[in-house]
Amino acid sequence: MTDYFEQTVKSISESIRFDSSLTDPSPDMPFGKGAADCLSHFLTLARDMGFETKNYDNYIGEVAYGTGPAEFAILAHLDVVPAGSGWTKSPFGGEIVDGKIWGRGAMDDKGPAFCVLYALKALKDEGFIPAKRIRFLLGCNEESGWACIDHFNEVSHMPEEGFSPDGNFPVIYAEKGILHVRLHFPVKNPPFSYLSGGTSVNMVCAECSATPRTLTATRARELGLEIRGKKIIAHGKSAHGSTPELGKNAILPILTFFEHKNADVKKVIDCLFRDSCGLTELTDETGKLTLSPDIVKFRKGELQVICDIRYPATIPYAEVVEKLKKMNVKYETLHHQAPLMQPKDSALVQILLKAYEDSTGETAQPIAIGGGTYARALQRGVAFGPEMEGDEPVIHQANEYITMERVRLLLDVYRQAIYELTK
């Protein structure tokens, strides 16, 4: 794979320079110009390599190889979450510094996507003819709704089996259920005229601000809040919504500032941060339920909070709903994905596990995560890399990067995995 390393690094860097986060649609660009341009860049490169390519109306792209009667899918995505704040490198610069490629999407999921592409090129150049038709799909709306997958299923058909290079190693056999809800907490006699925070439902809120009706400077400073004119601002640390414990939620200190002034605000804290309804008590072998209040806005006399809930794979959805109802407030279901769970001893899991072990020299076991990947779009799907235990958490955070060593590993492990699964 050495011959393809420099090309892979260059392509990842180029792709990061496209801000492919969700923006307003324009004609023939359902997720905005940045996502469409990023997809075009990827497909052009793949076509130049000699692969069949297809652009499904800028919703999703496909790189195909092989003509076998059976099909095997690899699902990655080129869209990214918003850059957010706190960067010391340009989020869309694709800088190559200190043995790392920096920028939004480096790990999630542009870096792994290009490693798969160049792994396919290596196999093709070696003369490998897969027994299955490999369909490598590149979505443009994974981070905010999966409309890309919905469109693909309308205009084409999804293979039954495959993997997504958008999770963790050694191999993910189970993913928790995902539930995004908007909760409406009425606030009588609000002690603020404005309160807002958060940018994305699957990112821990990194900044929240409010305009108190009465500003108590001493209290604000005790909570570590910035005072800017009549406004108070809390600065937190972003993290993926599935791992809120890795971040620092900026909504909490803002609400805490008003807690002693208003019982309705206290209820919000009790329900969402102190978990008075026992949501996080739900647990199984895939882990406990996580609750991440990621977006808050005060409007029409209520605090509207959008929460990212990841619930254990074997816990019934109805049981989660019953816990939510205990809050006794109106709620809307914005998005729901059922859990994913594959047998640990299945051929798919075991072949991928062996590819990882052969590439790293480690002995490993399949794992479960709270994140959600395209593997759920498949009847028999799992997530496979790129994160490893002990990595610095950078996905959905400022200063996202992928190391050169990880690029080399991905090129090797994806080449072996694809070969073994499609030979």
**Per-residue pLDDT tens over the stretch 249-298:** 999 999 999 999 999 999 999 999 999 999 999 999 999 999 999 999 99
Angle, nearest 10°, between helix axes 2-16 and 110-125?
A: 150
pLDDT at 144 over 90: no
- Structure confidence at residue 228 (pLDDT): 96
Sorting pLDDT into bands at 50, 70 and 90, what band is 2? low
Do residues 386 and 165 lie in contact, with contact meaning Cβ atoms separated by under 8 Å? yes
State the greatest distance between any 2 C-alpha atoms of the chain, in Å, as a whole number: 73
DSSP symbol at 281: G
Q: Among 303, 337, 371, which residue terminates a domain?
A: 337
Q: Same domain, yes or no, for 23 and 138?
A: yes
Q: Hey, what are 358's tokens?
A: 């052969």
42 and 121 inside one domain: yes
346: burial class by Cβ within 10 Å (0-12, 13-18, 19+)?
Answer: middle
Tell me, what's the pLDDT at 177? 95
This prediction's pTM: 0.80
- Could you give the residue numbers annotated as active site? 79, 142
Contact 140, 39 (CB under 8 A): yes
Domain final residue, candidates 278, 308, 337: 337
Indicate the burial class of 50 (C-beta count within 10 angstroms; 0-12, 13-18, 19 or more): exposed
Percent of the chain with pLDDT over 70: 100
281 and 142 in a single domain? The answer is no
Q: Are residues 13 and 160 in the same domain?
A: yes
Rg (CA), the chain: 22
Burial of 337 (0-12, 13-18, 19+ CB in 10 A): middle
10-32 pLDDT, tens digit each: 999 999 999 999 999 999 999 99
**Among the listed ranges 150-159, 178-187, 235-244, 290-299, which one has the minimum average pLDDT value?**
235-244
Judgement on whether residues 182 and 311 belong to the same structural domain of the protein: yes
Q: Which of 150, 136, 163, 134 lies closest to 57 in space, CA to CA?
A: 150
Q: For position 389, what pLDDT does the model report?
A: 92
Q: What is the pLDDT of residue 68?
A: 87
CA separation, residue 168 to residues 109, 115, 272, 365, 384 (Å): 12, 15, 28, 12, 6
Same domain, 14 and 149: yes
One domain, residues 185 and 327 = yes
Number of domains observed in the structure of the chain:
2
CA dihedral 24, 146, 179, 385 (to 10 degrees): -120
Same domain, 216 and 253: yes
φ, ψ at 326 (rounded to 5°): -65, -20
CATH of the domain at 407: 3.40.630.10
145 and 202, same domain (yes or no): no
Position 308 pLDDT exceeds 90? yes
pLDDT tens, 315-342?
A: 999 999 999 999 999 999 999 999 999 9
Least confident of 74-78, 149-153, 235-239: 235-239
pLDDT at 1 over 60: no
Q: Are residues 280 and 198 in the same domain?
A: yes
CATH of the domain at 303: 3.30.70.360
Asked whether residue 328 falls in the same domain as residue 184, the answer is yes
pLDDT band at 371 (very low <50, low <70, confident <90, very high): confident
Give the range of the structural domain holding residue 98, as residue numbers without chain letter: 2-175+340-422
Q: Are residues 299 and 363 in the same domain?
A: no
Among 286, 303, 337, identify where a domain stops: 337
More confident residue, 68 or 267: 267
